[in-house]
A and B are shown apart, each in its own frame.
Chain A
Amino acid sequence: MAGTGTGLAGAVDAYLGDVRDRVVGTLLRDLPDLAPAGLAGLVSSYPSRPGKALRPALCLAACGVLGGDGDRALNSAVALELFHNAFLIHDDIQDESEQRRGGPTLHAQLGTAAAINVGNATNLVGLRRLMENRALLGSQVAWRIIQETELMMRHSIEGQAIELRWIADNACDLDVDDYYRMCLKKTSWYTCIYPCRVGALVARQGTGEPTGFDHYGWYLGAAFQIQDDLLNITGDYDAYGKEICGDLWEGKRTVMMIHLIRTLRGAERARLVAFLGRPRAGRDAAGVAWVRDRMVAAGSLDVARGYARQLAAAAAREAEDALGAAPPSPHREFLLALPAYMIERDR
């Protein structure tokens, strides 16, 4: 569905493409001078690669569907795209990932120390963007957005800490509730809830609580993450842009992995626990292939697909409840179509 350019998927792709051109174009055009020369160029490395621009799109759509002026939300949309790229740089280091958006990860290109610094610089540029909101939106709204940003960063860092701890401790007693808690913090808050909240704050000029999209964002983000985990196992590298089965190499506790751990018995379970207990460098291609085959045989991929579909359906219900009475607009159609798009995408 995604990438076909037809129907709802085509409309979503078109909306995302427009936002990407606008937000990434602004981001790259307005990068500040950073010493030493070349640092700003490195900050632009990930944003210049093909990405979905999902987060700024949600921010601008939430603002637009509530009657807000997208130009007033653009600054925030650029900031959260920068924060996202900084997360990616640091996440790739923590996960020891090798590929990102169709190319080598930044730490693979520059070394870990330099890549960490580029990630920090990317956060700095995002912070500057938020500071500029004071002149654009007034002190009160700018401060509310900074508060939401602090909350988003706290959730993201806590979510990342949970996941890293699971891998370090070789946690093998997890259930889907544990996964949801990690996913809410690590993915949904910064990918969906935070962008929608910021868009709502701009549209309503800081009045009221910007929480009307929280449930939509939570279900959408969870469906997004599970679909991403599925693509990591079953996707095509050219479309997905990251190493296939990278999550297995990294020992990530996805829905599929949690299901597999809980399903296997005896020697097979012991083999899986031993595999997960090794560092990435201690795993081999044969072991990764065995885990993948076990996931297929145990139905773990189908279970995950079922979860993604149910969560996307819940997001669609939330969107219809919230937006059913809103006047037709590209923003409304985008938000309504996104849940189905999310689980059909191939990138």
Chain B
Amino acid sequence: MANTRSPRSRRARADAPLEDAASGASEAVRQAAAVLEKELASGVSGVQRLGAHLTKEHRVDQEAFDEVLARLRANTHEFVGVAANRVGDLRADDVQELAAQFSTHAQDLLDAVINMVSVAPDVLNRVIAAGQQGDPPRAAASSAPAAKAGAAKRPSRRAPAKRAPAKKAAKK
């Protein structure tokens, strides 16, 4: 349920006292919406906790990772929806169409990125395990697109150091 939507026709209701206050989003409601949006963005703190856990224990908790991703996905979809609705408030037909296209593309893009990243924990665990055993992390270097994307790839470049790669990876 996003907020600050464009005015639209509504069926007659008995709660008429609200009608005169309901003609579009007021400044008070826009301010309130912004506060909630900011708070919902605190899904990021889950990512920070996950990072701290990784640094401390050198292990990725798949359940926690999945949970963070689910929250991030929901929150970001919400943001995209709100942003699209705000553009829609500008009223011009072409802007409305642009908003609809932007919304669809952004949602699809978000899903694609998140799906790609979601394979990272398994890869990262294998990298860490391999690093702790002193073996070159071949499986990780060759397996997932997420490994190519960043953190998981670096330990393989530093493989000559025996236990250091795990720490390096963890700090990422």
Residues in A lying within 8 Å of B, measured CB to CB: 7-8, 176-177, 180-181, 184-185, 209, 211-216, 218-219, 222, 306-307, 309-314, 316-318, 320-322, 336-337, 339-340, 343-344
Q: Quick one: given A211-B78, A212-B1, A215-B2, are A176 and B28 in contact (CB under 8 Å)? A: yes
**Which of B63-112 touch A at CB < 8 Å?**
70-71, 74, 78
Name the residue on A nearest B77 (C-beta): A209
A316 and B15 contact, CB distance less than 8 A: yes
**Which 10 interchain pairs have the tightest Cβ spacing?**
A340-B15, A313-B22, A209-B74, A313-B21, A309-B21, A180-B35, A314-B29, A310-B26, A313-B18, A215-B1
A309 and B17 contact, CB distance less than 8 A: yes
A316 and B22 contact, CB distance less than 8 A: yes
Q: Quick one: given A214-B36, A215-B33, A312-B18, are A307 and B28 in contact (CB under 8 Å)? A: yes
Residues of B within 8 A of A219 (CB): 3, 29, 32
Name the residue on A nearest B75 (C-beta): A211
- The yes or no answer to B39 lying at the interface (CB within 8 A) is yes
CA distance A306 to B27 in the complex (A): 11
| Complex partner residue of B17 from A211, A213, A344, CB under 8 angstroms | A344
| Complex partner residue of B1 from A185, A213, A312, CB under 8 angstroms | A213
CA distance A311 to B17 in the complex (A): 13
Residues of B within 8 A of A181 (CB): 35, 39
Most chain A C-beta atoms within 10 Å of own C-beta, residue among B10, B21, B31, B33: B21
B18 and A8 contact, CB distance less than 8 A: no
A-B contact pairs, 9 of them (CB 8 A): A7-B14, A211-B74, A309-B18, A311-B28, A311-B32, A313-B21, A314-B26, A317-B22, A318-B1
Residues of A within 8 A of B34 (CB): 177
**Which of B7-49 touch A at CB < 8 Å?**
10, 13-15, 17-19, 21-22, 25-26, 28-29, 31-36, 39-40
Name the residue on A nearest B19 (C-beta): A313
- The yes or no answer to B126 lying at the interface (CB within 8 A) is no
Residues of B within 8 A of A306 (CB): 21, 28
**Interface of B (DSSP majority class):** helix
| Complex partner residue of A177 from B13, B14, B18, B31, CB under 8 angstroms | B31
Residues of A within 8 A of B71 (CB): 209
A184 and B35 contact, CB distance less than 8 A: yes
**Interface of A (DSSP majority class):** helix
Residues of B within 8 A of A317 (CB): 5, 10, 22
| Nearest CB of chain B from residue A224's CB, rounded to whole Å | 13
Residues of B within 8 A of A307 (CB): 28
| Complex partner residue of A339 from B14, B15, B26, CB under 8 angstroms | B15
Residues of B within 8 A of A8 (CB): 14-15
| Nearest CB of chain B from residue A302's CB, rounded to whole Å | 13
Name the residue on B nearest A155 (C-beta): B39
Name the residue on A nearest B36 (C-beta): A218
CA distance A181 to B78 in the complex (A): 19
Name the residue on B nearest A322 (C-beta): B1
CA distance A211 to B70 in the complex (A): 12
**Besides A177-B31, A185-B39, A321-B5, 6 other CB < 8 A contacts?**
A176-B31, A177-B34, A209-B71, A213-B1, A310-B26, A313-B19
B35 and A311 contact, CB distance less than 8 A: no
Q: Quick one: given A176-B31, A209-B74, A218-B32, are A314 and B1 in contact (CB under 8 Å)? A: no
CA distance A340 to B21 in the complex (A): 11
Name the residue on A nearest B14 (C-beta): A8
| Nearest CB of chain A from residue B40's CB, rounded to whole Å | 7
| Nearest CB of chain A from residue B160's CB, rounded to whole Å | 43
Name the residue on A nearest B82 (C-beta): A215
B1 and A321 contact, CB distance less than 8 A: yes
Residues of A within 8 A of B36 (CB): 184, 214-215, 218
CA distance A307 to B29 in the complex (A): 8
| Nearest CB of chain B from residue A60's CB, rounded to whole Å | 19
